[in-house]
Amino acid sequence: MNKTAEITRTKNADFDAVVVGAGFGGLYSVHKLRNELGLNVQAYDNASDVGGTWFWNRYPGALSDTESFCYRFSFDKELLQKGAWKNRYITQPEILSYLGDVADRFDLRRSYQFNTKVVAARFDEDTNLWLVTTDKGQSVTAKYLITGLGLLSAINKPNFKGVDDFKGQILHTGAWPEGVDLSGKKAGVIGTGSTGIQVIMALAPAVKNLTVFQRSAQYVVPIGNWSESEAKINEYKANYDAIWKQVRESVVAFGFKESTIPYNSVSEAERQSIFERIWHLGGGFRFMFETFSDIATNPEANEAACNFIKGKIKQIVKDPKIAGKLMPTDIYAKRPLCAIDYYGVYNRDNVNLVDLKSDAIAELTPAGVRLQSGEEHELDVLVLATGFDAVEGNYTKIDIRGRGGLTLREKWKDGPLGYLGMMEADFPNLFMILGPNGPFTNLPPASRLRSNGSLISSLPPSAKDCSRLKRRRRQPMNG
């Protein structure tokens, strides 16, 4: 055990800390609390193994849209040197394997009870302990409750009329079963967010027919997902000290330097050149943050980014009617999306686009999906890429009660509150690694620093460790 601080064990409690979740945040918390601080830790996850959101999101085409070299932990140099990936963007199977290796390296699984969902947590004001209850009927007490629930764990499954009548398969991308093969099927996809465009790109060449049910047209830029050579990967490994310094000092922590160029500071020709260069380089986060410094704050710059992408849609999509359906009308402010030739997929003969804003879904039938107009689309399988009850939904689905029996749902009835997505008044010693009002950022390094900066520095250290932990509090929280 490499104990870096002396912590007084909690008296009259089953554990010092309970950790919920086995993704990036949960795994690191268990390691930090147990292996480094010497606490007695019990952890839970409702999956059968580690992985967090990457355990459940096994849909075809799933990958991180953060580049492989920095979508990983930074706290262990040997682990970084052992890192392996094939392409610029790391896939779901690679991420799951990586997190399994992390769990093996630090012996994290022995602190976990898997296939177990935490359903309630109540703060006892008489004992100043949390009483945590699982769906197995177990209850344990602990001083600290750390929630590594992630941002995307509570799935959003729409309840369509006739859903029980449909004779085919209904699959949600956030709870994808193993071993599903949709080759040669007539498939439909509802949803065109980040997950939706990934599964659309993967299914289009594999299925017999693909019908995309689009509610909102999206701004999608190329991903630029080329293979990375061993030499390039070794270059990353040789420069990790500088890479992580840049990540921690940056605004969004995605491993590149954000633009410092205001849109109006350069000529129109230079503006188009910058947009074009980043378009070909690829990456949604790069297009939003590496082009100009004020895409998200200057309406003129934002409109220029919108118009540039709309121009690409007109160039790429052969059918003007389909191109029109794909034209976004919102500002460029949602999560920046990227894929390999997303708009080009609609040039395929086996892909059909349905604009739900002009003809909404009326019901599911035994054979497929019927629209308000009466038009019916026959399907063998319907894929719901309908996202999640994100961020606060992960918390309000658990019966979490603080002082006076106040629930988080009641606390947040007018919108989520709290301090930087980490702590909430009336809920003592509850530490949310990625709660509401947290940063927009690359999550693995953020999970580490937010764990260090919030829950770890709030533990009672011995006097000799106070100065070190105070210094840690001042680390940037966005990287």
Euclidean distance between CA atoms 188 and 171, whole angstroms = 10
Pairing of strands 220-222, 337-339: parallel
* pLDDT for the residue numbered 1: 44
Gap between the Cα atoms of 110 and 173, Å rounded = 29
What is the predicted pLDDT for the residue at 437? 81
Q: What is the DSSP letter of 135?
A: T
Spell out the per-residue pLDDT of the chain, length 479, in tens: 444 444 566 779 999 999 999 999 999 999 999 999 999 999 999 999 999 999 999 999 999 999 999 999 999 999 999 999 999 999 999 999 999 999 999 999 999 999 999 999 999 999 999 999 999 999 999 999 999 986 655 567 788 999 999 999 999 998 898 889 999 999 999 999 999 999 999 999 999 999 999 999 999 999 999 999 999 999 999 999 999 999 999 989 999 999 999 999 999 999 999 999 999 999 999 999 999 999 999 999 999 999 999 999 999 999 999 999 999 999 999 889 999 999 999 999 999 999 999 999 999 999 999 999 999 999 999 999 987 555 666 788 899 999 999 999 999 988 888 788 889 999 999 999 888 887 778 888 877 665 554 444 444 333 223 223 233 322 322 32
List the one residue out of 147, 93, 141, 142 whose CA is nearest residue 117.
147
Look at the alpha carbons of 253, 297, 307, 201 in this order and tell me if their dihedral is positive or negative. Answer: positive
> What's residue 449's pLDDT?
62
* DSSP result, 406-440: -BHHHHTTTS--SBTTTB-TT-TTEEETT-TT---
Q: Which residues contact 139 (CB under 8 A, 6 or more apart)?
A: 131, 132, 133
Cα 158 versus chain centre, distance: 20
Q: Shortest CA distance to 58 belongs to which of 96, 99, 87, 27?
A: 96
Counting DSSP H helices and E strands in the chain, the numbers are: 16, 20
Do 29 and 145 meet the contact criterion of CB atoms below 8 Å apart?
no
CB-based contact 410:402 (threshold 8 Å): no
Distance CA 72, CA 243 (A): 12
Give the separation between CA 454 and CA 418, rounded to whole angstroms.
13
* The two structure tokens encoding residue 407: 């629930």
3-state secondary structure of 81: helix
Buried b (16+ CB within 10 A) or exposed e, 395-417: bbbbebbbeeebbbeebbeeebe
* b/e per residue 37-59 (b: at least 16 CB within 10 A): bbbbbbbbbbbeebbbbbbbbbb
The CATH number of the structural domain formed by 15-154+389-473 is 3.50.50.60
Residue-level pLDDT at 465: 31
CB atoms within 10 A of CB 220: 24
Q: For residue 467, with 0-12 CB atoms within 10 Å meaning exposed, 13-18 middle and 19 or more buried, which class applies?
A: exposed
* pLDDT score at 388: 57
